[in-house]
Structure 1
Amino acid sequence: MTYHGDREYWAEPIAVEVDQLDLVNMGQYNVQEAKTRLSELLNLVERGEDVVIAKAGRPVARLVKIEPPTRRELGFLGPLHIPDEFYEPWTDEEMGFPGQ
């Protein structure tokens, strides 16, 4: 039971669906072993293997490789044709000055 201020409430467990076959196919390490072998586990993950961290034999976390973002090109509108007149200076009327 957890107390928050003057109220008490029951913390709800978080339910996560895990494919048991996936857990069998990946390495599972308890917390202490994961702490001791973290560099080695990160090397495994870097090579594409998933690693499961367990607490008291119960899987609680999965280490997976982060893929670098793909390079995207800007310019989704395609090439724009800008007429040469675009670069010419504005007239007084276009600037909003009263006629002289």
Structure 2
Amino acid sequence: MAAIANIHDAKTNLSKLIERALAGEDVTIARAGKPLVRLVPVQSEQERVDHSQWLGALKGQVWVAPDFDEADAEVEAMFEKGLDKP
């Protein structure tokens, strides 16, 4: 469930809103009904995953056929007429 609080309510209930954000809820702070900011948990260094080390990890181990994206006439026909129609 998403929570939207105006600035005054956010100041009054900041601790509660933080707890809701930590629990995974989408918490937005608004002014005059217009969303301004979102509260989101900060990830610790241990929680962050460095995906850059994975880039290129399978280089030379994966092969893609040159014709992988060519259409198959039989499959195209099934899509055109639908699988449930005779």
TM-score by length of 1: 0.43
Structure of greater relative contact order (alpha carbons < 8 Å, 6+ residues apart):
2
